[in-house]
């Protein structure tokens, strides 16, 4: 029998953990939980935020702009972030405690200067694909479990896109942490409920 389950580990990187440039409160707390969950999967996939130093989603690239403010990009509203996960930097590296040796694929996202990428499946224009959907479909991996950082941004967008693409989707909340910007964590829970995304 083909094992059609995959664990998708979203952005467990130094810059999203305490001490990082865009730290999620308690972000490093997901690491032992993710490692324990991964031991129960034959297929483990990772995503990695991977930005050029002059990425357009960085507040530093917009004169007078403050981090966490919003601007309008050609593809729609964009939150401006502190510089983070710059290509090749220590902040972009996976958390040193994360078990990565069994990962079958690493999807890097956000490497195009002009567009941000929260989802593991599409960039923020909602139409430029990362290639992950095709990889999963070709391998027959149809049941996805999502964990990682942050619950209300990259995990949320990835889960919603996976569901829209026809995958079975479960998010393990104890293996995530939220930024919770303006109530975004509760909004994520409501969205999952509306879309029949399982929150376990």
> Alpha-carbon distance 163 to 156, whole Å?
11
Using CA of residue 166, residue 94, residue 84, residue 55, what is the dihedral sign? negative
Task: From the candidates 17, 28, 154, 161, give the one annotated as an active-site residue.
Answer: 154
Yes or no: say if 11 and 154 are a contact pair by the CB < 8 Å rule: yes
C-alpha dist (Å) from residue 23 to 49, 85, 91, 154, 167 = 13, 11, 10, 14, 30
**116 SS3 class:** coil
Q: How many CA atoms lie within 13 A of 165 on its CB side?
A: 26
Task: From the candidates 49, 109, 152, 161, give the one annotated as an active-site residue.
Answer: 109
Residue 113 falls in the annotated catalytic set:
no
What are the beta bridge partners of residue 122? 129
> Alpha-carbon distance 167 to 163, whole Å?
5
Residue 152 falls in the annotated catalytic set:
no
Whose tokens are 């440039």? That residue is 21
Residue 28 falls in the annotated catalytic set:
no
Report the catalytic residues: 11, 109, 154
């Amino acid at each position: 029998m083909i094992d059609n389950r995959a664990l998708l580990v979203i952005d467990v990187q130094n810059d999203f953990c305490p001490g990082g440039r865009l730290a999620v409160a308690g972000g490093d707390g997901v690491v032992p939980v993710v490692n324990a969950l991964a031991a129960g999967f034959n297929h483990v996939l990772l995503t990695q935020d991977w930005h050029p130093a002059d990425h357009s989603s960085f507040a530093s690239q917009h004169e007078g702009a403050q981090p966490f403010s919003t601007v309008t990009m050609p593809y729609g509203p964009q939150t401006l972030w502190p510089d983070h996960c710059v290509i090749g930097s220590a902040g972009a590296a996976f958390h040193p405690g994360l078990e990565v040796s069994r990962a079958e694929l690493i999807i890097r996202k956000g490497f195009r200067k002009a567009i941000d990428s929260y989802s593991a499946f599409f960039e923020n224009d909602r139409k430029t694909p990362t290639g992950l959907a095709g990889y999963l479909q070709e391998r027959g991996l149809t049941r996805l479990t999502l964990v990682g950082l942050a619950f209300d941004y990259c995990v949320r967008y990835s889960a919603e896109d996976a569901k829209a693409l026809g995958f079975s989707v479960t998010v393990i909340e104890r293996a995530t942490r939220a930024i919770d910007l303006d109530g975004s964590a509760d909004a994520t829970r409501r969205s999952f409920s509306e879309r029949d995304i399982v929150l376990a």
